[in-house]
Structure 1
Amino acid sequence: MQTKDLKKFFHPKSIAIIGASKDFTSISGKPLKNLIRTNFTGEIYPVNPRYDEIEGLKCYSSILEIQQKVDLALIAVSASRLTSILRDCIEKNVRHIMLFSSGFAEIGESGKKIQDEVAKIALENNINIIGPNCVGCLNVKDSIPMGFATSLESKNGYKSGNIGLVSQSGALGFSVFGLAQEENLGFTYVVNTGNEMDVTTLDTVEFLLEDADTTVIAAYMEGISNGEQLIQVAKRAKELRKPLIILKSGKSAIGKEAALSHTASLAGSEETFQVITKQYGITTVKDIDEMIDAMRIFSRGKWAEGKKIATVSNSGAAGIAMADFSEEFGLVLEPLQGETKAKIEAIIPSYGSSLNPIDITAQALKEQHILTDTVEALVKDDNTNVIVIQTTFGGELGEEICRKIVEIDQRVEKPIIVTVTGTEELTGENREILRRNGVPVYKTTHDTMLAVKHLVDLSMYHHDGSNVRNHPILAGPLVGEEEKNRIWTEEKVKSVLEQLNLRVPKNVILQSEKDVDQCIGKLKFPLVAKIISDDILHKTEAGGVKLGIQTIDEAKKAYQEIAQSTRKYNPSANIRGVLLEEMLDKKGVEMFIGIKNDPAFGSFIVCGLGGVFIEVLKDISIRHVPIDRTEALSMVEELKGFPILLGTRGEQRSDIEAFVEALVKVSDFVYDQNQTLEEMDINPVVVLNEGEGLVALDGLIIWEKVETEILVSS
């Protein structure tokens, strides 16, 4: 993965502050104040023609006056002056610039014009820029603050650790940093990318991934400018086994565009983002509290070997709550068995519960070993992957228990997560003992179990593998560019499906009523006749479909009626013929397969119950292309309608394997088209009984966007 060279943004040996001020309360004064206060060991060069010196440091009228090498320029001047200053930086051979200035794209067209000009100059001269409209960055490891964010002014210094944080929003990013520091979470770097004229959030994530000290990465994003880069970043995170947490705001308007097909109306841009994050192992969170909670559990560096949770509490109600949230979040609470169950029954009072949740009762107030001995038993239980403890004990007893939990946690690999409820006065020191020693601790059951869900989900993603393929084998002939002419109606789509070894009804194309006599001998009654026209996709509404044709005369009559109806429906339509094909004589379950090309991420494959049920039920499953058999099967299994395929009320099991194979073949075909296929619908796909395969009855491919809203129906 090719990454931008960002090292000197965070490890500069010399910093020029252009626009530096003696007023240390101002935006242009705080960066200098912060560097002086934290005893920056490199060289600092204030630049401002109004001053001879600032705080004993020589002040230069221009960066060109500085004789020494400058690694990083912090610029705090108005947008209107930036172009000339940038040219001075280029002449001085400064390759890394951080822009605090506002007044760019965020104010409208005039600011965007300046931003575009600066970006062009920077690109032409190989300059890396963070910002504009940036509040700064922080190298926490070496205590180098470069900016004016309030959190940089902490009198207690900065706690270093293993978390890297990047945010498009400076206020939000440094707020998260400040709150997390209060919870004893340590960081390597905190970066605000601002307007992202050049360096983006994802560029910074790439840098953080390759930093050996950064093992957890969190990002706040307001949009995805490069979907492929996000996917590659996620794949690299998996290779390095580094959790990637994303909080994304904003709902794109892309999903509101007119839809050419059922698939387009079902797969909006926000939904496709969620599909990407799930498929490629990115942890998404809804707010900054959840982001900090996820940081806390991931920063401990322990992974779950499975999703089986054992919970321990001194409150029956707390146990019930943990069980409820476990079910909601897809975690597994299995009853304890065998030796473990016997051990715990011998530890807890007889009126407690050795089931899971485990209720140790309030007797643990008198005998603290009850809780810790129970935890020791669970540590040795091979059927327990994560241990969750909830306690309300305060005072010396609570502190003693928490110290014992720390001791256990530090000698075992199994994740131990703790909920300590109660006021700061009574139980605050308990939480602090756990925080200081890296044990994930939360105040509420919900927050605890949600964090456990994030840990288990990512652990299972790494453990099982995502089955994502980078280069599928070609599924069929690549369609030539000259053939990708706007819309393919079903006769051309079916030709592609046949090349993919997917079954379609036997058919012929009639150019006139006279063709019926010549062609009908190739088919078996009953038949269906359908109009073929790029301009009439809603065939039934146009009178372009006739079913149950049993004779030659009925076929001729059907041709006449279709021709008359469709000409009346759309006199200017380009009618390319009538498709005459055999009607399916077997029962099956109607499904559909669809493709939607998302501007940010490329092609997605969608499946669900077909026919008229698509728009009514919206029971769909979506994945990013390409997929393999395992991913395709998971798509089918997560449908609410999956039991129908298994066979209900005496019906036979459907040929699920044939449908899974079809999903993979269509996915590979689409992947081969290099994102030139805009939309595709195969609907309905009739999945026959097990061993009998499937039959695709209708289809549509769109090679370019068409603004008119049209729906496919036969």
Structure 2
Amino acid sequence: MTTGPQPARSPSGIAALLAPRSVAIIGASSDPDKIGGRPIKYMKQFGYTGDIYPINPSRETVQDLPAFPSLEALPVIPDAVIIAVAGDRTVKAVAECAARGVKAVVVMASGFGEVPDPTGQAQQREMVATARAAGMRMIGPNSQGVANFGNGAILNFSTLFTEQEPMDGEIAIISQSGAMSSVPYGLLRARGLGIRHVHATGNDADINVGELSEAVVQDPDVKLLLLYLENLADPDSLAGAAATAKQRGVPIVAIMGGRSADGQRAAKSHTGAIANEDAVVNAYFEKLGIWRVRSMREMVDTAELYLKGWTPEGRNLVIMSNSGALCVLTADAATDRGMPLTTFAPDIEAELREILPGFATSTNPVDVTAALLSDSGLFGRSLPVIARDTSADIFILAVPVAGKGYDVPRFARDAAAVSDQTGKPVVIVAPQQSVAAEFKKKGLVVFGDEATAVDSLDRYASHHALIARSRPESFRSPLVDAPSGAAASSTSLSEADSLLRLAASGVPTIPFRLCRNESDVREAVANLGTPVAVKGCSADAPHKSELGLVALDIQTTNDAVAAYERLCERMKSANLAFDGVLVAAMASRGHEVMVGAHRDKTFGPVVVFGAGGKYVEALDDAALLPPPFSRDDVRHAMAGLRVTSILTGLRGEPPAAVDAWADAVCAVGDLMTANHDVQSLDVNPLILNESGIVAVDAAVFVG
């Protein structure tokens, strides 16, 4: 796996993979079920119109095509070459392709950078260096290959293409795993959806998922990009793909593997433990507008919704069914997902009462009852009325039981008409296959149960809202701006220096004096007034409470002097560097919140904020944002925190100045962006009340 700054790489090599005029196969096989045979079979079968050149020195023909003994023997220089040989022969083949002037290669063999073998890793580095020196691009090694069903360029050996015949469509799949490119392909094809691109990048040694995504989202026929990732060594390319996708209106949905604790990165500050690797990935995806799902089922269940081109204006749900029970269950599922039911305007409800039988329900959810059996027009007359209500954003039409005696084709026509006329999402819940088929004929999205329908709609609506507020174009990886030779380790500033650093950046800090003798203490108390806090100040002790270096609510000057002497002795006995003793004003009572940051080696600075105090890690109530971000971004993230509901003013308490907290978060974001020496910081707690916010403790690490 390559990391670090990458040299400029020509996109023409990627174009040669996605739309090659000619393809050669080193290791071509006459057996269409072997790795070297499948791509030939697929290209012949699925409409590739370019030239195919099998290379096999022991055969005159391969799958009825003329075979050639070597790359040199070809009559042309092929745009792309599939390398289907193993070991040292792979390395040699890459070198031959580079020397011949080939634009791009697909290396299928494994045993290179993905294994803990120094020889294989060295060979992978050699192949990358050889390719880049010649301006040639490489997919793999350890790659299943690439496949473009729009033009039949199937440089891929997936078994699924045999099991489920391809159909061109509007979905693109890009994966670092061969299997995880085939699995969604199979599941989506089983649902009748067409797939245009299926690409597996393997080790991402040269062309990576992000760079390939940048090319694929420019395909005018692609409406949805699905990703499977296990690492992100090149976040800039994926950010570029996300920016292009947003401009084109192509949603990106991703699964990111490796969410376990073993994959998490620790940091020195308390907040670093909260901002673990998985949480940082979430924040990065949110900035880019990429929706992260946790399972392949979530990805596949929602896919068809994206292809409809709906853009929900909100999340208000309308439920209509011929079953009261399903109305109840769907409403429960909506509540679980935080999707409110539309409250119909009085005139809408009055008109519904005129249409529906007296024993039906004219409020949301709308139960038309079994009267649907005798009056097939109930859906058709009711839905257009409800659709006039501007607060109705999304419709679920649930038909749990129908069949003989029901005019299901009419139900389907009526539902499709409302969707076409309003442009609003209308989905169907129909567990009976015969009933579902009628709705599918009209191009409607059908789910087998209400929970899956609501879950999918929730993800779909939430993703559109995320895309609207995303700013992928503002992302810059840490490699762009970091000074050369930046330190890999960091050291702590004292609390006094940490507070000064924060104050200079615009974070309100508690008034304090750094004292080195009794006279300093007396002068500090005289200036600050009482009560005061007295704290040992040492760069060796960024977190002081655990060491007994904090004395709070000191009421007199003599008590402050006594605390000073006690803390000096405690630091000496603990062999801590003595930077002084900090005497600070006591903050007014308020809520304890926190803000912190650390500099992720892949994604750059990340700011974390949430509930503060000594239980910060146990509370698990924090949000993350990669800078740059705005106060509005912060306030939106704060809305998802449990602590925010307390800050609005409960039981007669005055509301806290939450905007002041948001401004402090923004100041920390600016600090991390402008000061590359700051590796991490922890400001906990900040005291937040109705009059403002103030930092009473801080630890800043520089390097």
TM over 0.5: yes
Of 35, 41, 60, the match for 1:27: 35
Offset at residue 482 of structure 1 (A): 11
Contact 2:176 2:229 in 1 (8 A): yes
Residues in 2 aligned to 1:412 and 1:151: alpha-carbon distance in whole angstroms = 38
Would you say 1:188 and 2:175 are equivalent positions?
no
Question: Once the two structures are superposed, what CA deviation does each residue of 1:633-678 show, in whole Å capped at 9, x if it has no partner?
Answer: 223332212233222233222222222221211221222224x432
Residues in 2 aligned to 1:165 and 1:447: alpha-carbon distance in whole angstroms = 22
Question: Once the two structures are superposed, what CA deviation does each residue of 1:379-430 show, in whole Å capped at 9, x if it has no partner?
Answer: 33322111111113235732442244334434441221111112x3xx2xx4
Amino acid at match of 2:649: G
Offset at residue 684 of structure 1 (A): 1.4
Amino acid at match of 2:532: L
Residues in 2 aligned to 1:258 and 1:243: alpha-carbon distance in whole angstroms = 32
Contact 1:503 1:696 in 2 (8 A): yes
| Partner residue in 1 for 2:701 | 702
Contact 1:632 1:663 in 2 (8 A): yes
Residues in 2 aligned to 1:258 and 1:162: alpha-carbon distance in whole angstroms = 41
Question: Once the two structures are superposed, what CA deviation does each residue of 1:440-461 show, in whole Å capped at 9, x if it has no partner?
Answer: 1111111111121122113333
| Partner residue in 2 for 1:267 | 275
Residues in 2 aligned to 1:431 and 1:337: alpha-carbon distance in whole angstroms = 31
| Partner residue in 2 for 1:470 | 474
Question: Once the two structures are superposed, what CA deviation does each residue of 1:112-151 show, in whole Å capped at 9, x if it has no partner?
Answer: 2222221221122222111222223221112332222122
| Partner residue in 2 for 1:147 | 156
Structure 1 76/470 Cα, relative in aligned 2: closer, same or farther at 3 Å?
A: closer
| Partner residue in 1 for 2:530 | 525
Residues 438-517 of structure 1 mapped to structure 2, 5 A cutoff: 438-463=443-468, 465-466=469-470, 470=474, 486-516=491-521
Structure 1 603/104 Cα, relative in aligned 2: closer, same or farther at 3 Å?
A: same
Unaligned runs of 5+ in 1: 473-477, 705-714
| Partner residue in 2 for 1:112 | 121
Would you say 1:420 and 2:430 are equivalent positions?
yes
Structure 1 526/172 Cα, relative in aligned 2: closer, same or farther at 3 Å?
A: closer
Structure 1 23/361 Cα, relative in aligned 2: closer, same or farther at 3 Å?
A: same
Structure 1 125/437 Cα, relative in aligned 2: closer, same or farther at 3 Å?
A: farther
Residues 306-317 of structure 1 mapped to structure 2, 5 A cutoff: 306-317=314-325
Of 552, 560, 567, the match for 1:555: 560
Question: Once the two structures are superposed, what CA deviation does each residue of 1:341-396 show, in whole Å capped at 9, x if it has no partner?
Answer: 22322222221111111111122122221122222223333221111111132357
Contact 2:589 2:689 in 1 (8 A): yes
- Other structure's SS at 1:368 match: coil
Contact 1:403 1:433 in 2 (8 A): no
Residues in 2 aligned to 1:349 and 1:111: alpha-carbon distance in whole angstroms = 74
Count of residues in correspondence between the two structures: 686
Structure 1 435/169 Cα, relative in aligned 2: closer, same or farther at 3 Å?
A: farther
- Other structure's SS at 1:64 match: coil
| Partner residue in 1 for 2:4 | none
Offset at residue 257 of structure 1 (A): 4.8
Would you say 1:645 and 2:670 are equivalent positions?
no
| Partner residue in 2 for 1:199 | 207
Would you say 1:401 and 2:420 are equivalent positions?
no
Residues in 2 aligned to 1:471 and 1:154: alpha-carbon distance in whole angstroms = 41
Contact 1:3 1:203 in 2 (8 A): no
Offset at residue 45 of structure 1 (A): 0.7
Amino acid at match of 2:428: V
| Partner residue in 1 for 2:11 | 4
Residues in 1 aligned to 2:45 and 2:475: alpha-carbon distance in whole angstroms = 53
Structure 1 191/432 Cα, relative in aligned 2: closer, same or farther at 3 Å?
A: farther
Amino acid at match of 1:534: A
Residues in 1 aligned to 2:10 and 2:294: alpha-carbon distance in whole angstroms = 28
Instruction: Give the share of equivalent positions with the same residue, in percent.
Output: 26
Structure 1 168/382 Cα, relative in aligned 2: closer, same or farther at 3 Å?
A: same
| Partner residue in 1 for 2:3 | none
Residues 171-186 of structure 1 mapped to structure 2, 5 A cutoff: 171-186=179-194
Amino acid at match of 1:683: N
Residues in 2 aligned to 1:495 and 1:363: alpha-carbon distance in whole angstroms = 74
- Other structure's SS at 2:678 match: coil
Residues in 1 aligned to 2:557 and 2:417: alpha-carbon distance in whole angstroms = 86
Amino acid at match of 2:570: S
TM-score normalized by the length of structure 1: 0.90
Structure 1 108/283 Cα, relative in aligned 2: closer, same or farther at 3 Å?
A: same
Would you say 1:543 and 2:548 are equivalent positions?
yes
Residues in 2 aligned to 1:123 and 1:275: alpha-carbon distance in whole angstroms = 33
Unaligned runs of 5+ in 2: 1-7, 477-481
Of 143, 157, 166, the match for 1:134: 143
Of 546, 563, 583, the match for 1:580: 583
Instruction: Tell me the C-alpha RMSD between the 2 structures.
Output: 2.7
Residues 371-386 of structure 1 mapped to structure 2, 5 A cutoff: 371-386=379-394
Structure 1 255/511 Cα, relative in aligned 2: closer, same or farther at 3 Å?
A: farther
TM-score normalized by the length of structure 2: 0.91
Residues in 1 aligned to 2:694 and 2:47: alpha-carbon distance in whole angstroms = 73
Offset at residue 2 of structure 1 (A): 8.8
Contact 1:96 1:127 in 2 (8 A): yes
Structure 1 421/669 Cα, relative in aligned 2: closer, same or farther at 3 Å?
A: same
Structure 1 288/195 Cα, relative in aligned 2: closer, same or farther at 3 Å?
A: same
- Other structure's SS at 2:114 match: helix
Structure 1 589/411 Cα, relative in aligned 2: closer, same or farther at 3 Å?
A: closer
Question: Once the two structures are superposed, what CA deviation does each residue of 1:491-510 show, in whole Å capped at 9, x if it has no partner?
Answer: 11221232234332322222
Residues in 1 aligned to 2:376 and 2:439: alpha-carbon distance in whole angstroms = 17
Offset at residue 66 of structure 1 (A): 0.7
